[in-house]
Chains A and B, each alone.
Chain A
Amino acid sequence: MKKSQILKARTAGSAARRFGLGMISPTMLVLLIMTAYPLLFTLFYSFTDYNLLRNLQKPASFIALGNYTKLLHDAYFRQAILNTVKFTLLAVIFEMLIGFGIALLVNSLTRGQKTMRTLLLLPYLLPTVTVALSWRMMLSPNYGIVNQVMEALNLPVFNWFSDMRTAFGMLLLIDVWQSAPFVFLLLYAALQSVPQAQYEAARIDGAGAFKILFFVTIPNIKNSLALCALLRTIDSFRLFDKVNLLTGGGPANTTSTITQYLYNYGIKSLDFGFGSAGAIVMTILVLFLSSFYIKRAMG
């Protein structure tokens, strides 16, 4: 009897394992095809001088670390890394602060929460190209409404995207404007799960608003805060579309991000070997940045 029970248990266990493998196999297949293969492909080509058009006449040749050496010796690439890190840090800080602030505000409303939620989410729902082109029109030195309002108020006007003093700040502003609603949404959802009893207990104990925020709210949503920060870090690090549409990396490389640099020096001239090397370097940097969050999140 005992033997048959053990056999039954073993059979059930292996059946469960097979079922589990069967369930994850479609996902593993998609991951292998859509993620692992392109990554390996990119890594392979990063060690070659692959040019899309030249390859039609002469196959690419292996150049070992030639692309990486060229990349890391290029002052403009180092500037692009600096710009990207600076942008990522500032964007994440502002988006988290503004998103969290809005989430707290909307959560505290007694009426109109749903309406506010929908309205505040609108910038995030817009396609990035639409956002970039709309802001370009608003900030146009010719007919842009921003300059017209500033002129009417006797304030100084700028050529926002062509001036070294303002171009970076404008990109940051536009990205924060579009992405803070995403942070708001995630943190707002997290705030809904904070037990009300803890707030009541804190109030009974005489805690003020700041103490409630730092000792009740934030500890309860810290995992969501970490997740938001991680997602925004990854997204901000990969910033390309707004830079490409609005400044092209200029003026004088002040807004050139890693992806914009790779586009200018690799993709545009179809030097995919060089571009692949840059993509691998960028992947390593993103993994490095993300590792801090992941370690903290996993405790």
Chain B
Amino acid sequence: MKKLFAFLLTLAMVLSLAACGGKTDPPSDASGSAPAQGNSGGSDSAAPTKLTLILRAGTYADVIKECLPAFEAEHNVTCEVQELSESDLYSGIALDAINPAGTYDLCMVDGSWMAEFTASGVLANLTELGYELDSDIIPATTTICYVDGQLYLAPYYGNVTVLMFNKANVEAAGYSAGQIQSLDDLLAICESAQASGKKGFIYRGDNQNNLVVDFLPILLSFGGWVLDDANKPTVNTPEFKAAMEYYLKLIATGEAQVKDDLIASVDTGAGTMGIGWPGWYTPTADSTADYIALSGSASAGAQAYNSNVYGIWTIGVPNNSQNKELAAKLLAYLMDADVQKSTVPSGGVPCRYSSLQDGDVLASYPQYEVVCKALESGMYRPVISEWTQFYTTLGTEMDNIVNGVKTVDQGLADAQANLEQLMG
């Protein structure tokens, strides 16, 4: 009896383990048709092919999602979209890259991941898949899309750092948007706001990446950068120190907040200014906040540097996608000039002259003129495979400096030493 009981129990356990690993049919989509995997190209009479997209959550994914139904109807596909935070998107793409058969067919990639992804063969060669960028796309935005003349990514969403500001607070300080010509003007406005009981400059201090990214436009305005042409760290330099000392004065007028709080602060007037991205906020004629591109000058009369930092969201096809050709068609469709222009009312920011310089678009969204100029002369964050460790190390030391744990000299010296060790 005991033996029989033991046998039945073991059998039940083995069967349940086997059942857990069994393949299940994927759920059918909303229209009721059963999706099918494979590179069939989605022929009309066959069951729809399923394409899986992994995208950055927020406006970036929303504008893509609204374009999908037309493509789905034309090509007999169903698109499943995963929307993730930046760090989850990075790890999601990376973790799937090691699988021989990938889960994703289209991925959204931040430009700073390009070097790591292409070095590891994560992305499919779009040139070999028959796709090329057209001349309507702003040339400066395409520099990181190519490796050895081959295309791997397409610049989809034109994120570039802008200076978000509350209109009323700026006016109360005696300035208009057009009069903000240098970082000294920024500081003057923020100090004036602080004196009147409001917060001046709001910065994102919630993680190392945000600390570094918010600081980069300031650093560029002082003529500094984090790496030289030989990819050696340049953080312990007079320019970096001057930028850091200025930044400490600037952030002393405000405080650190997370992204949502920063936007709310500037919108409500509780805060005056902050570094932001067009994807965060769509100003209108009667909105309380607006944004401009930074001039790139540290002070009046000083040399103006290119200080707009790209945060462009590109799209590509994972190299282990099971539907590469169809995914390439989807990519080409999403990058179509007319399709991209149609996303503008929903907050889309195409990297295209036809969208950003269109008369009707500018009539409704005049800020896109600013964005276009910024995109024409932007700087990508360093395209190095060690960028994640780089900004973690630099951000940690900046966090120490900002919070007074280390002096500027001490913090920058430690950052330089650690980064030299990292870059070899």
Which A residues contact B (CB, under 8 angstroms)?
15, 18-19, 22-23, 25-26, 29, 52-57, 76, 136, 140-143, 159, 161-162, 164, 247-248, 250-253, 264-265, 267-271
- Is there contact, CB below 8 Å, between B261 and A22? no
B264 CB contact (under 8 Å) in A52, A142, A250, A267: A142
Q: Is B23 engaged at the interface, CB distance under 8 Å to the other chain?
A: no
| B residues with CB within 8 A of A | 2-3, 6-7, 9-10, 13, 87, 91, 94-95, 97-98, 116-117, 119-122, 205-208, 255-258, 261, 264-265, 268, 270, 385, 388-389, 392, 396, 399-400, 402-403, 405
Minimum distance in angstroms from A83 CB to a CB of chain B: 14
What distance in Å separates the Cβ of A53 from its nearest Cβ neighbour in chain B?
4
Q: Flag if A53 contacts B116 (CB, 8 Å).
A: yes
Q: What's the Cα separation between A53 and B319 when bound, in Å?
A: 13
**CB distance A251 to B6 under 8 Å?**
no
25 pairs from A and B in contact (CB 8 Å cutoff)? A15-B3, A18-B3, A19-B2, A19-B6, A22-B9, A52-B94, A53-B122, A56-B121, A76-B396, A136-B258, A141-B255, A159-B257, A161-B206, A162-B255, A162-B257, A164-B403, A248-B207, A250-B206, A251-B403, A252-B402, A252-B405, A253-B400, A269-B389, A270-B91, A270-B388
A57 touches B399 (CB 8 A): no
Q: Which residues of A contact B258 (CB under 8 A)?
A: 136
Whether the pair A162, B396 counts as a contact (CB closer than 8 A) is no
Which residues of A are found within 8 Å of B389, using beta-carbon distances?
265, 269, 271
User: Which residue of A15, A52, A76, A162 is within 8 Å of B95 (Cβ)?
Assistant: A52
Q: Quick check: A22 and B6 within 8 Å, CB to CB?
A: yes
Which residues of chain B have C-beta atoms less than 8 A from A270's C-beta?
A: 91, 94, 388
- B388 pairs with A268, CB closer than 8 A: yes
- Of all A-B residue pairs in the complex, the 9 with the closest CB atoms, nearest first, are A22-B6, A162-B256, A252-B403, A53-B120, A248-B207, A269-B388, A26-B13, A252-B405, A19-B2
Bound form: Cα–Cα A54–B122 in Å = 10
B381 CB to nearest A CB, Å: 15
Interfacial chain B residues near A53, Cβ < 8 Å: 94, 97, 116-117, 119-120, 122
Instruction: Check if B256 sits within 8 Å of A251, measured CB to CB.
Output: yes
| CB nearest to A75 among chain B residues | B414
- Which residues on the B side are within 8 Å of A25 (C-beta)? 10
How far is it, in angstroms, between the C-alpha of A55 and the C-alpha of B120 when the chains are bound?
Answer: 8
Q: Are A247 and B403 interface neighbours, CB within 8 A?
A: no
Closest partner residue, chain B, to A271 (CB atom): B389
Residues on the B chain within 8 Å of A18, using CB: 3, 6
Q: Is the CB of A265 within 8 A of B121?
A: no
Q: Which residues of A contact B9 (CB under 8 A)?
A: 22-23, 26
Shortest beta-carbon distance from B275 to chain A in Å: 16
Q: Are B208 and A264 in contact (CB under 8 A)?
A: yes
Bound Cα distance from A140 to B116, whole angstroms: 36
Question: For residue B387, which residue of chain A has the nearest CB?
Answer: A269
A269 to B208, CA, bound (A): 13
CB distance from A254 to the nearest CB of B (A): 8
Rounded to whole angstroms, the CA-CA distance of A18 and B2 in the bound complex is: 10
Enumerate chain B residues within 8 angstroms of A268, measured Cβ to Cβ.
87, 91, 388, 392
Give the docked Cα–Cα distance between A250 and B204 (Å): 12
Closest CB in chain A relative to B413 CB, distance in Å? 14
A161 to chain B: closest residue by CB:
B206
User: How far is B122's CA from A252's CA once the two chains are assembled, in angstroms?
Assistant: 34
Q: With the chains together, A264 CA to B392 CA distance in Å?
A: 7
- Closest-CB distance, A139 to chain B (whole angstroms): 11
In the complex the two chains form, what is the Cα distance from A250 to B261 in whole Å? 17
Q: Are B2 and A15 in contact (CB under 8 A)?
A: yes
Q: Which residues of A contact B405 (CB under 8 A)?
A: 164, 252
B256 adjacent to A159 (CB under 8 Å) = yes
- CB atoms of A19 and B3 under 8 A apart: yes
Distance A15 CA – B2 CA, assembled complex (angstroms):
9
- A57-B119, A162-B257, A268-B91 given. 16 additional CB < 8 A pairs? A22-B3, A22-B6, A26-B9, A29-B13, A56-B97, A56-B121, A142-B265, A164-B405, A248-B207, A250-B399, A250-B403, A251-B205, A252-B405, A264-B392, A267-B91, A270-B94
Give complex CA distance A23, B392 in Å.
50
